[in-house]
Amino acid sequence: MLGRDRLLSVLLAAAANCALAQHVPPWTEDCRKSMYPPSGPTYRGPVPWYTINLDLPPYKRWHELMADKVPALRIIVNSLKNLVNAFVPSGKVMQIVDQKLPGLLGPLPSPFEEEMKGIAAVTEIPLGEIILFNIFYEFFTICTSIVTEDKEGHLLHGRNMDFGVFLGWNINNNSWVVTEELKPLTVNLDFQRNNKTVFKAIGFAGYVGMLTGFRPGLFSLTINERFAMNGGYMGVLEWILGKKDAMWIGFLTRSVLENSTSYEEAKNILTKTKILAPAYFILGGNQSGEGCVITRDRKVSLDVYELNPKQGRWYVMQTNYDRWRNPFFLDDRRTATKICLNQTTQEKISLPTIYDVLSTKPVLNKLTVFTALMDVTRGQFETYLRDCPDPCIGW
């Protein structure tokens, strides 16, 4: 019993220190300024561009990209396997993944199943592991998204992609293992049909859904995970048991980016479609007032919080907690984001100043893989790999 009490004391002390760290230097800091164009220790480097030809059969669309990224994908898939095997050392879980997961899930929506089969073929990674790699994004995405409107009614959209919490901590360099392994897999994607851009997105090689993207001239879209008891595991379980009336989140957002032709159409689909996991959809348009955060349960929309510049609401932002509730005390990126946006002011908001906000700790943290900046009207789509040098909080 003494050992248990001692462990509990250590955990409580660690939690208290993390909670305090959210609000005091060096874990937080004054709002950053003049960080753009990106350089210095918080900038890891640029993100390469690839074209995904939608005129090709789904099986072949990712072959060129995946041929470049096979080594990096194998590294992260092995890390996920090692993580699973750490909990079930017998290896039986991964045996089930390799041999039975595709059958358990049954047919996946078109064209995504055929695309994953093509990725499995070119990488020589079992299809079950490719599917598992795609499923992980339904559960572990912790992000900050912002849509702003300047004084001229011009809309901008920015996001930090934070990913990999609790998926292995490297004590040698104070980093999350999966977060670091995702950076070489990060790619800008230009989805084309008839040699013309349909939409642009940033993703991870091997993942066929989309979590960040825009349709030039029309709308921008990001997705953040929403923590809820009725979480994504319930949706996946229902899918396995044969109830397949809901959409996988990444598949839905990609479908919206590929097929929707207006902000209102995208908003309607994201508000009403049943989804496997709770989520926040952050949507920006091309006209004044077209910006919102859609708070989703798996089956219904709980809230649509919209820009209203006439009432002084010139930005909407979202981390991973419902706006009407306080954020988890160990993870208050919301307050830092709002402070920095308010200090920036509507008069000075721009892609460079949004980058400043997203570069300020703890909005920038050890989980941050990349920062994306989008200007739908001007067609700007920029992505930058990030680092958060010590001292930097883990999330």
Kindly list the catalytic residues.
143
- State which H helix or E strand residue 342 sits in: helix 333-344
Report the C-alpha dihedral over residues 201, 204, 210, 213, rounded to 10 degrees: -20
**Are 144 and 337 in contact, with CB atoms under 8 Å apart?**
yes
> What CA–CA distance (Å, rounded) separates 203 from 182?
10
**338, burial (CB in 10 Å: exposed 0-12, middle 13-18, buried 19+):** middle
216: Cα separation from own chain's centroid: 20
- Print the SS3 string covering 210-246: CCEEEECCCEEEEEEECCCCCCHHHHHHHHHCCCCCC
**121, burial (CB in 10 Å: exposed 0-12, middle 13-18, buried 19+):** middle
Q: How many residues does the structure list for the chain?
A: 395
- State which H helix or E strand residue 158 sits in: strand 155-163
Q: What is the DSSP letter of 395?
A: -
**Are 95 and 84 in contact, with CB atoms under 8 Å apart?**
no
DSSP 3-state assignment of 195? coil
Within the chain, residue ranges assigned H as helices are 2-21, 63-87, 92-105, 112-123, 127-135, 177-182, 232-240, 249-259, 263-272, 333-344, 351-358
> Token pair for residue 261?
């032709």
Within 183-330, residue ranges assigned H as helices are 232-240, 249-259, 263-272
Report strand pairing: 315-318 vs 141-149: antiparallel
